[in-house]
Amino acid sequence: MHTVQQTDRAAAAIPPDPADWPAGIHRVLREAQVRQVAYVPDAGHTKLINLCHDDPAMRATVLTTEEEGVALLAGAWLGGQRGVLLMQSSGVGNCINMLSLSKSCRLPLVMLVTMRGEWGEFNPWQVPMGQTTQASLELAGVITYRADEAEQVAETVEAALHFAFDSEVAVAVLLSQRMLGRKKWVK
C-alpha cells in the first residue's frame, strides 16, 4: 500500500492521497481559514485531531461534552473566527438543545461526525444513537451530508464549510463507519 507522509507531501507538492482522508480534511480546514477546532475524541478522528493540534494556525480545544463545542464555536464566530466541531455519533444527542443557539442566531456551524452503530457494530450500546444520528440532526435543523468513501471526504467537508460560513447554516458531515473501519476489540 502506498502511503505518503504529510510533511513529505508538503515539501514535494505531491498530489494528495485520497485514501488519507484525515489529511484531506485538515487541508480543506486550512484553506477555509478555520482557526478553532473543538472536539470530544473519537478513534476515527485521532489523526485529524493530531494534525490540528500540530498546526500553529489552529486552536484545538478538548471538551467535556459535545454541546460545549456548539457554544464555543458560536463565541468564535462572534469574535470573527471560523471553527469546526469533531465528535462521534454518540455525541450528537448531547448537542440537541444547544443547537437552538445556531438556529436562533443563524450562526454557522460545521460538525464532523464519525459514525458508530451502523456497520458491523460490536457494541450494542452504540446502536440507539448511531441509528438516530442523522434523523436527530435533521429534526434539530442541521443540514446533513454523508461521506461513504474516503475519496469523497475532503470534497464533502469543503462543501459543508462553504455552505455553513457563506449561508450561515448548521451542517454536519457524517463519516460512515464502513469507511472508518470496524473497531477492533481484540488486540
Partner 1 sequence: MQTERNLLDRRWVVKVLLSDRRDLLVVTGLGAPTYDCAAAGDHPGNFYLWGAMGGGAMVGLGLALAQPDRRVVVITGDGEQLMGLGALATIAAQRPDNLAIVVLDNERYGETGMQRTHTAHGVDLAGIARAAGFPDARIVRGEDEVHALATAVRQGRGPLLADVKVSPEDLPRVLPSRDGAYIKTRFREHVLGQPAA
Question: What pairing do the DSSP bridges indicate for beta strands 82-88 and 34-39?
Answer: parallel
Select the span of 65-73, 116-124, 148-156, 175-183 touching partner 1 (CB under 8 A). Answer: 65-73
Q: Which member of 35, 47, 162, 183 binds partner 1 (CB under 8 A)?
A: 35
User: Which residues contact residue 10 at a Cβ distance below 8 angstroms, ignoring those fewer than 6 apart?
Assistant: none
Q: Are 4 and 19 in contact (CB under 8 A)?
A: no
Select the span of 5-13, 54-62, 125-133, 153-161 touching partner 1 (CB under 8 A). Answer: 54-62
Binding of residue 71 to partner 1 (CB under 8 A): yes
Q: What angle do CA 120, 95, 34 make, to 5 degrees?
A: 90
- Taking the complex as a whole, the smallest distance from the CB of residue 64 to partner 1 amounts, in Å, to 3
Q: Which residue has the cell 502506498?
A: 2
CA dist 134 and 170 (Å) reads 13
Binding of residue 70 to partner 1 (CB under 8 A): yes
Q: Which member of 15, 56, 80, 124 binds partner 1 (CB under 8 A)?
A: 80
User: Which residues contact residue 107 at a Cβ distance below 8 angstroms, ignoring those fewer than 6 apart?
Assistant: 73, 74, 77, 101, 168, 170
Binding of residue 91 to partner 1 (CB under 8 A): no
Q: Which member of 10, 43, 57, 62 binds partner 1 (CB under 8 A)?
A: 62
Select the span of 16-24, 48-56, 104-112, 136-144 touching partner 1 (CB under 8 A). Answer: 104-112
C-alpha cell at 11: 515539501
Binding of residue 100 to partner 1 (CB under 8 A): yes
User: Which residues contact residue 148 at a Cβ distance below 8 angstroms, ignoring those fewer than 6 apart?
Assistant: 176, 178, 179
Binding of residue 167 to partner 1 (CB under 8 A): no
Work out the number of other CB atoms within 10 angstroms of the CB of residue 75. 13
Which C-beta is closer to partner 1: that of 36 or that of 114?
36
Binding of residue 67 to partner 1 (CB under 8 A): yes
Binding site for partner 1 (CB under 8 A): 35-36, 59, 61-65, 67-81, 83, 97-98, 100-101, 104-107
